[in-house]
A and B are shown apart, each in its own frame.
Chain A
Amino acid sequence: MSQHEHHDPEGGFADELGSALRSTGESFGLDGRPELVSGGLARGRRRLLRRRLAVTGGALALAGIGIGGVYAGSVLTPGQSAEKASVAAPRTPAPTATPTPGSTGEPASDSLKPGMAEIPLSQIADVLKANTPAGQWRFDGLDGTGQALGGVYDDGRGEAAVGISLSRAGRGPDAGLDMVTCPEKAYVPYDRCVEGRIADGSRVMVIEGYEYPDKREETKRWRAVLLTKDGFLVDASEYNAPAEKGGTITREDPPFTATQLKELVAAEAWRPLLRQIPPLPTAPAQPGKAPEAPPRITGNGVQNTLRALLPKGLTVTDKGGEGEFAFVVVDDGKGESLVQVNVQYGMGKVSGDLFGSGDVTTLPDGRKVKLTQQPGEKGGEGVVWWTADTMTTDGFRVVVSAFNTGAQHEAATRAEPALTMERLKTIALDPKWAKIPAK
Chain B
Amino acid sequence: MRTSRADEFLEFASARTGQLFRSACLLTSGDVHLAEDLTQETLGKMYALWGRVARIGNPAAYAQTVLVRTFLSHQRRRSATERPLGELPDHTPDDGTDPLLRIALLDALAALPPKDRAVVVLRYWEDRSVEETADALHTSSAAVRTRCTRALGKLRQRLGGSIGEFATR
Contact = CB atoms under 8 A, between A and B. Distances in A.
Nearest to A45: B47
B58 interface: no
A258 to B, nearest CB: 29
B147 to A, nearest CB: 13
A290 B44 contact: no
A22 B1 CA distance: 40
Contacts of B155: 13, 17
Contacts of A107: none
Given A37-B13, A359-B91, A16 B46 contact: no
B127 A2 contact: yes
B18 A350 contact: yes
A44 B7 CA distance: 13
A357 B91 contact: yes
Contacts of A45: 47
Interface in B23-71: 23, 25-26, 32-33, 35-36, 39-48, 50
B14 A37 contact: yes
Contact of A40 (B15, B35, B39, B121): B39
A28 B32 contact: yes
Nearest to B129: A3
B79 interface: no
B123 interface: yes
Contacts of B123: 4
A47 interface: yes
Given A4-B129, A19-B166, A43-B40, A358 B21 contact: no
A369 to B, nearest CB: 14
Interface string A8-50: 1110011111111111111111100100110111111111100
Contact of A25 (B6, B10, B23, B48): B23
Nearest to B11: A349
A353 B101 contact: no
Given A25-B26, A37-B43, A30 B18 contact: yes
A7 interface: yes
A410 interface: no
A48 B40 contact: no
Contacts of B82: none
B166 A377 contact: no
Interface string B87-112: 11111111101010110011000000
A83 interface: yes
A40 B93 contact: no
B-side interface mostly: helix
A22 B169 contact: yes
Contacts of A246: 77
Contacts of A375: 87, 89-90
Given A24-B106, A40-B47, A357 B32 contact: no
Contacts of A251: none
B44 A20 contact: no
Contacts of B47: 40-41, 43-45, 47-48
A239 B34 CA distance: 22
A381 B167 CA distance: 33
B89 A43 contact: no
Given A28-B89, A47-B48, A21 B125 contact: yes
A423 interface: no
Given A21-B124, A44-B48, A87 B130 contact: no
Given A357-B91, A358-B91, A28 B105 contact: no
A296 interface: no
B152 A17 contact: yes
A23 B21 contact: no
B3 A19 contact: no
B137 interface: no
A20 B123 CA distance: 13
B10 A20 contact: no
Contacts of B6: 41, 83-84
B33 A40 contact: no
B80 to A, nearest CB: 16
B149 interface: yes
10 pairs of A and B residues whose beta carbons are closest in the complex: A40-B43, A44-B47, A43-B44, A353-B18, A47-B48, A20-B166, A28-B25, A44-B44, A25-B22, A39-B40
Interface of B: 1, 3-7, 9-11, 13-15, 17-18, 21-23, 25-26, 32-33, 35-36, 39-48, 50, 77, 87-95, 97, 99, 101-102, 105-106, 120-121, 123-125, 127, 129-130, 148-149, 152, 155-156, 159, 163-164, 166-169
Given A19-B168, A359-B91, 9 more contacts: A10-B152, A21-B121, A21-B124, A23-B93, A26-B22, A27-B89, A30-B18, A39-B40, A216-B33
19 contacts: A3-B127, A8-B148, A16-B163, A18-B125, A21-B120, A30-B21, A36-B17, A40-B40, A40-B47, A41-B9, A43-B40, A43-B43, A83-B4, A87-B10, A350-B15, A357-B94, A358-B92, A372-B90, A375-B90
